[in-house]
Structure 1
Amino acid sequence: MVVVYGANGQVVPLGDRIGRGGEGTVYRLSASSYQAAKVFHQPMSPQRVQKVTALIGVTDESVRKLAAFPQSLLYNGERLPVGILMPLLEGYHDIHHLYGPSSRRQAFPSADWRFLVRAGTNMARAFSAVHAIGAVVGDVNHGSVLVSPQATVQLIDTDSFQLRHNGQLLHCRVGVPMFTPPELQGRDLSRTERTTQHDDFGLAVLLFQLLMQGRHPYAGVQLDQRDLSLEESIKQGRFAYGDQAHRLGVKPPPSALPLASLSPPVAQLFENAFGRSGTRPSSTQWISALATLERSLVNCGVNRSHHFASSLQSCPWCSFESASGLQLFGDVAPPRVAASWSSSPDVWQPLVNVQTIHPPPMPVAQAALPAAAPTSSASTVWVLFWCLIGATVPALVVDPTLAAVPFAGAVVCLLLATTKSGRRFQLRRAYASAKKGLEKAESLSRSFSHDNVYAKAIRDLQGLKDAVDALPAERDAKLRALRTNEERTQRDNHLKSTLIMRASISGIGSSRTSALASYGIESAYDITRHRVMAVPGIGPKTADNLLAWRDSVERRFVFRPNAPLDPTAVARIDAELAKERTRIMGEAQRAAGALPQKRQLAEAEAAEVAMRMQEAAMELQQAEAALNALGMRP
């Protein structure tokens, strides 16, 4: 049993053990719900005692609210310092639990993009407070930042901070390479004086991973196919998401968000933080940019758990979820698709009591008909023609001069007969053409009420309404299909909930865990040989270890046939249908808004059709009258 004493020599009663690490064990205090004791496995070195004593002497309350500074030393029975008394931080989680959707869903099930931005702002405030007292965090890493369910932040492991005490520099002796700036890579950190600029690099990495779904800024795809470690990529400045990435021979990993998904000011700060020119942004610059970003966030019209910068034209999370099949934020499904369309009565109002547009009835004016005059029939003219020819022949025999009169009459009859036949032919053709024109006009008039632009617009609007009305049935069908595949869904969720960061896998440390997360490999579900072999630094042996671990996780799966449907899968279905409904309603709004104009166009077309009917009828009447004038029937 561990027994420790306070500075006054009194026993400090230890309660339950709440954590254990390489250096020591953390206990809850039996007599306090606000304090914890960290007891080291070995007595503290004089250098550590000196630093802890200096930290205990920090009285600035603004920094003590944001960093878990030690409150007093703890001693063993021989009065040797063996531990520290510190604030108890319950309900907090390491910040890396906020990075990816799988870990975030477990630790922060209701967190959305606003929560991440706020947590990032508060983390920058904590760094700024430390810098304000002349200290440097030094050992920046995702295990030294804790986040509460309210997005407040606490820095821990403060006994590793660098600070000056009584004129002496007390170094931060350790560091994690993936958060160490290029200029310090490979150096002996125990003898290196850190600056706030070094902290600014680590802070930028933490913020990048927080806002970019766990991706590390230097974990990219090497265009020259070199297998560079994360540390080497940092040292060479190969920022995978920057404007100069292609020139540096690197590009983002598959399915990574572009920097453009953030606001332009925040994206530019990342460019400055990881680029080869310029000064790294300070914690105060991050506070300003992130606070401005949070104020500019707007809610997605499709998924209520999505928020994005107002400067963007569309929601980047919808596109990412559609491409990846992941639900990024929140544990609450979007509103269920409405069972009826009555929630938008104004849109569908034109479908109630639709008034069909017909060509207006227009009286057909009587055509000016040619006067009928009695004329000789064609047969009479031809009889007279042959009689005159018969008279002309004997006259030629008797006296040619006498033949001139009957011959002239025959010529006149021939002209009369042939002219009348041509006229009849032309009139019949004109009549047939006029009749065909009227039939065509009548056909157009009959079909107009169905084929005009207004009628077509009404049908299109009705089709959109039918599509909205069909969404609840589509949802039911998708849920039935989900129930059919429930065993696979449960197995997938079991794999997704088993995180690499919490596992002990041979060859997988914090650096490789971060590299895997940068390629979207966060849980057992994400592991396939093809995917892990694409990650820099992962060879065949390490891939075998990952696959073996995944198989062991899958073997522990137990199917629960009576369990409720996976809420995440249901939420995804509802999000898809809500997006579709939003699209349809947008089209419906535009279509309904255009109806008055289309009705005017249709009414104008109807008047034009009626006019064509009148003109065609008049033309036919004139053709009939012309035939009648020649004694012909139509």
Structure 2
Amino acid sequence: MTGQVYQGYTGKRYSAGQKIGQGGEGAVFTVQEEAALVIKIYSETLDHDKSEKLVFMSSIINDELSNFAAWPLDVARDRSGRVCGFVMRKLESYVPLHNLFSPMDRKKLFPDKGYNFLVHVSRNLAAAFHKIHQLGIVIGDVNEANIVVNAGGMVALIDCDSFQIKNGNKYHFCEVGIPRYTPPELLIKGSFDRVIRTINTDNFSLATLIFQLLFLGRSPFTGINPGQQELDEETAIKTHEFAYSLKRQHKKLFPAKNSLELSTMPSGVAALFHASFENILERPSAAMWVNELSGLNKAIVQCIKTKIHYYPDVIGYCPWCQFRDKHNILYFLDDSYLKAVPEFKDIDQFVNGFRVDKIDLKILTETYTKPNITALPISRKFHTWKIANMAFMVVIVVITIGLCFIFNWVCIFGGWIAIMIFNAISPAKKQIDTELIIRQNALGSLKVSLQNLIKQHNVPAELGRYNQSAHKLKTLIESFKGLSAEFETDKKKIQENHYNKKFNHYLEQFDVRKYPIPSFGVSKKTLIYANGIRTAADVLKLRRIKIAGIGPANIQVLIDWQRHIGTGFTYIPDINIINQEISVAANTIANKRQRLERDIKSEYKVCSLLKANILALTSNTEQQYNELVIKVHQAQLDLDAFRKFKGKNL
């Protein structure tokens, strides 16, 4: 698909760029013409109803929808003119909402966020639903994977093409859904085909998501079943068996072990949960949730012991500290439970003593400021030779003129020949010409010496070695400065490995053959089991292997199932083992620090010695240069003066 060109409804061009996502229905690509847009291309050919739905959705876009949803802005048509996808805005720095359910995901993505952030996101989620419902739109397929959130707590809905849309009297149905977020009146139908959903059914889904946010991923209809009769989540929803209910008598389902109780919520919030999960006719609206959650947000207080711990003031104590201290359960990971290790506060202080300075050499050139000097006087002997030479020339001229008067003017040619012969054999001329050559050679030799000296100064022989040493020293210093970050990375890996190991062990308890998986019957379960997908922990293997008959849509169902199973996981870290491994990592870093300190000191000595040698050399060559340019200029002046002295006659 990358590189493929598509056309919008009015002919606008969209070129598919890099593939950035893959789902059960299709893939998402960047748009080469506009970085703020992405394009979703379906894997299967769309029917007429779906195409018509996308065209209509793109025609009703407005600012409210743009703020809260990745709404279709335009359709995408292939070369044959068929609608095969749609264009939407690109959501930068957003992550799936379900990442807020896991303490490790929260730590990796939002390390400074506490329970107050979850309340804030819940309130914004309700506000998004309220705005969409005001436009008469029903979301339908609500789940934790098609809602995204950013670090500011802003939420946006994606996969909007599955929304239920009404165009006049015609419904474009939402015929997909996940049981966990489906109200009982729809679950009992057994199918979503041509089912008209309502804002009231959306309100059940909204309440479920809010419950998961406030109860750290727990589902309202999963928990402890003390009875003998099996009670799965779908059955619990159908029978209104709200596990956290404070009103229901003869309960069959109770809150999961080591989870918050509904009594920890303000009475208004608890009442909305009761009305959402134990009433069918009229569930609390999104606007009602906005109001109650705004109040809860104001009633959140910070723990005096741990800065990342926030909780509703109605509780009167920090539940997260209690879970940690009494049960060794960590719902918010802030490293306060880890053993203190040596810090690296003096890193900068150490490296500041080994600063690598660039050697700024004064560049010398053959163009120099001419010293204020004059040519040296020419020796008297050259003046004598020149006068003698000129005297002989005068004698020849006089004799030639006399002969012309006595004999014939033809004698003038003989005089000219005599002058030429005299110039050729004149001792004075030879002496002067020789002196001129000597002065020219002297100037040339001085200029060559100047060029060599400039080269020696501008590119010292040891400069290459110094640059290599300086680069090595900088690399060592950067490694030294990065020790703290390297240790933090190692520490995070240790914690993540322990978390993932326990999480994986938890998932291994769920045999795919024994637990309900939406749309997976016995035959499909047998198929994936035979191909190595035996527990919830094996689901991610489907990223590496292919099973005939299990396509992208089925894989997405399995991933969703694994994620839902994972929300029941409670992290109880092996603190002693983690601290032991962190101590080993700290010792490794400490040893590396000692080695780097030794290497930095050694290389700094080499670097300093080379620098001192270069500076001494360049200081000496600069002094020689200053002396030599005077000699060069003097030689040039003397040569010019001698040339002028020699004149044309010699």
Shorter-chain TM band:
0.5 to 0.7
| Offset, 1:335 | 13
1:280 counterpart residue number: 283
Indicate conservation of the 8 Å contact 2:173/2:194, yes or no: yes
Q: 1:94 to 1:489 in 2, by over 3 A?
A: closer
1:307 counterpart residue number: 310
Indicate conservation of the 8 Å contact 2:111/2:334, yes or no: yes
Indicate conservation of the 8 Å contact 2:7/2:76, yes or no: yes
Q: Give SS of 2:287's match.
A: helix
| Offset, 1:9 | 4.2
Q: Greater shift after overlay, 168-177 or 319-328? A: 319-328
1:18 counterpart residue number: 20
Indicate conservation of the 8 Å contact 2:115/2:309, yes or no: yes
Q: 1:86 to 1:324 in 2, by over 3 A?
A: farther
1:167 counterpart residue number: 169
Indicate conservation of the 8 Å contact 1:220/1:240, yes or no: yes
2:585 counterpart residue number: 563
Q: Give SS of 2:126's match.
A: helix
**Which residue of the other structure, out of 31, 41, 44, is the alignment partner of 1:42?**
44
Indicate conservation of the 8 Å contact 1:272/1:278, yes or no: no
| Offset, 1:68 | 1.1
Q: 1:334 to 1:219 in 2, by over 3 A?
A: closer
CA distance in 2, matches of 1:295, 1:94: 26
2:159 counterpart residue number: 157
| Offset, 1:169 | 1.8
| Offset, 1:56 | 1.0
Q: 1:565 to 1:291 in 2, by over 3 A?
A: farther
2:123 counterpart residue number: 121
Unaligned runs of 5+ in 1: 338-484, 527-558, 567-634
Q: 1:22 to 1:258 in 2, by over 3 A?
A: same
| Offset, 1:11 | 4.3
One-letter amino acid matched to 1:563:
A
**Which residue of the other structure, out of 83, 88, 91, is the alignment partner of 1:89?**
91
CA distance in 1, matches of 2:252, 2:142: 28
Q: 1:218 to 1:493 in 2, by over 3 A?
A: closer
CA distance in 1, matches of 2:304, 2:582: 35
One-letter amino acid matched to 1:504:
V
Residue by residue over 1:415-472, the C-alpha shift from the partner in whole angstroms, topping out at 9 and shown as x without a partner, is xxxxxxxxxxxxxxxxxxxxxxxxxxxxxxxxxxxxxxxxxxxxxxxxxxxxxxxxxx
Question: Counterparts of 1:244-259 in structure 2 under 5 Å?
Answer: 244-245=247-248, 247-259=250-262
Indicate conservation of the 8 Å contact 2:61/2:71, yes or no: no
Q: 1:564 to 1:209 in 2, by over 3 A?
A: farther
CA distance in 1, matches of 2:216, 2:182: 20
2:539 counterpart residue number: 504
1:111 maps onto 2:113 in alignment: yes
Question: Counterparts of 1:206-225 in structure 2 under 5 Å?
Answer: 206-225=209-228
1:495 counterpart residue number: 501
CA distance in 2, matches of 1:277, 1:45: 34
RMSD: 3.3
Indicate conservation of the 8 Å contact 1:70/1:85, yes or no: yes
| Offset, 1:274 | 1.1
CA distance in 1, matches of 2:537, 2:308: 27
One-letter amino acid matched to 1:108:
F
| Offset, 1:324 | 4.1
| Offset, 1:496 | 5.6
CA distance in 1, matches of 2:587, 2:496: 9
Q: 1:328 to 1:53 in 2, by over 3 A?
A: same
Indicate conservation of the 8 Å contact 1:216/1:514, yes or no: no
Q: Give SS of 1:250's match.
A: coil
| Offset, 1:207 | 0.6
Q: 1:18 to 1:281 in 2, by over 3 A?
A: same
Q: Give SS of 2:193's match.
A: helix
CA distance in 2, matches of 1:496, 1:115: 26
2:568 counterpart residue number: 519
1:146 maps onto 2:148 in alignment: yes
CA distance in 1, matches of 2:138, 2:116: 28
Q: 1:152 to 1:275 in 2, by over 3 A?
A: same
**Which residue of the other structure, out of 131, 134, 156, is the alignment partner of 1:132?**
134
Indicate conservation of the 8 Å contact 1:238/1:250, yes or no: yes
TM-score, normalized by length of structure 2?
0.55
2:201 counterpart residue number: 198
CA distance in 2, matches of 1:23, 1:271: 36
CA distance in 1, matches of 2:47, 2:492: 57
| Offset, 1:220 | 1.7
CA distance in 2, matches of 1:214, 1:118: 16
One-letter amino acid matched to 1:229:
D
Unaligned runs of 5+ in 2: 341-490, 508-535, 542-554, 575-580, 589-650
1:296 maps onto 2:302 in alignment: no
CA distance in 1, matches of 2:51, 2:121: 32
CA distance in 1, matches of 2:157, 2:492: 42
| Offset, 1:13 | 2.2
The share of aligned pairs that are identical, in percent, is 29
| Offset, 1:322 | 2.5
Indicate conservation of the 8 Å contact 2:95/2:149, yes or no: yes
CA distance in 2, matches of 1:277, 1:10: 46
Q: Greater shift after overlay, 88-97 or 8-17? A: 8-17
CA distance in 1, matches of 2:266, 2:582: 44
Residue by residue over 1:366-414, the C-alpha shift from the partner in whole angstroms, topping out at 9 and shown as x without a partner, is xxxxxxxxxxxxxxxxxxxxxxxxxxxxxxxxxxxxxxxxxxxxxxxxx
CA distance in 1, matches of 2:493, 2:67: 47
1:263 maps onto 2:266 in alignment: yes
CA distance in 2, matches of 1:512, 1:81: 31
Residue by residue over 1:313-369, the C-alpha shift from the partner in whole angstroms, topping out at 9 and shown as x without a partner, is 1112211222442433364759999xxxxxxxxxxxxxxxxxxxxxxxxxxxxxxxx
2:6 counterpart residue number: 5
Q: 1:216 to 1:493 in 2, by over 3 A?
A: closer
One-letter amino acid matched to 1:519:
G
TM-score, normalized by length of structure 1?
0.56
Q: Give SS of 1:248's match.
A: coil
CA distance in 2, matches of 1:312, 1:47: 52
Indicate conservation of the 8 Å contact 1:161/1:171, yes or no: yes
Residue by residue over 1:126-177, the C-alpha shift from the partner in whole angstroms, topping out at 9 and shown as x without a partner, is 1111111111001111111111111100011111111211331221111111
CA distance in 2, matches of 1:274, 1:514: 22
CA distance in 2, matches of 1:250, 1:215: 13
Residue by residue over 1:248-283, the C-alpha shift from the partner in whole angstroms, topping out at 9 and shown as x without a partner, is 222112112111222222122111111247732110
2:56 counterpart residue number: 54
CA distance in 2, matches of 1:222, 1:279: 28
Residue by residue over 1:556-582, the C-alpha shift from the partner in whole angstroms, topping out at 9 and shown as x without a partner, is xxx89863499xxxxxxxxxxxxxxxx
Question: Counterparts of 1:412-431 in structure 2 under 5 Å?
Answer: none
Q: Give SS of 1:38's match.
A: strand
Q: 1:198 to 1:114 in 2, by over 3 A?
A: same
CA distance in 1, matches of 2:42, 2:239: 38
Residue by residue over 1:580-616, the C-alpha shift from the partner in whole angstroms, topping out at 9 and shown as x without a partner, is xxxxxxxxxxxxxxxxxxxxxxxxxxxxxxxxxxxxx
1:388 counterpart residue number: none
Indicate conservation of the 8 Å contact 2:331/2:571, yes or no: no
| Offset, 1:109 | 2.2
CA distance in 2, matches of 1:135, 1:486: 43
Indicate conservation of the 8 Å contact 1:112/1:330, yes or no: no
CA distance in 1, matches of 2:94, 2:116: 18
Q: 1:127 to 1:488 in 2, by over 3 A?
A: closer
| Offset, 1:62 | 1.9
Q: Give SS of 1:563's match.
A: helix
Indicate conservation of the 8 Å contact 1:219/1:518, yes or no: no
Indicate conservation of the 8 Å contact 1:110/1:332, yes or no: no
One-letter amino acid matched to 1:193:
I
CA distance in 1, matches of 2:305, 2:180: 37
Q: Give SS of 1:509's match.
A: helix
Indicate conservation of the 8 Å contact 2:275/2:284, yes or no: yes
Q: Give SS of 2:176's match.
A: coil
The number of aligned residues is 386
CA distance in 2, matches of 1:283, 1:150: 21
| Offset, 1:205 | 0.5
CA distance in 1, matches of 2:243, 2:503: 29
Q: Give SS of 2:237's match.
A: helix
Indicate conservation of the 8 Å contact 1:110/1:329, yes or no: no
Indicate conservation of the 8 Å contact 2:162/2:174, yes or no: yes
Indicate conservation of the 8 Å contact 2:203/2:283, yes or no: yes
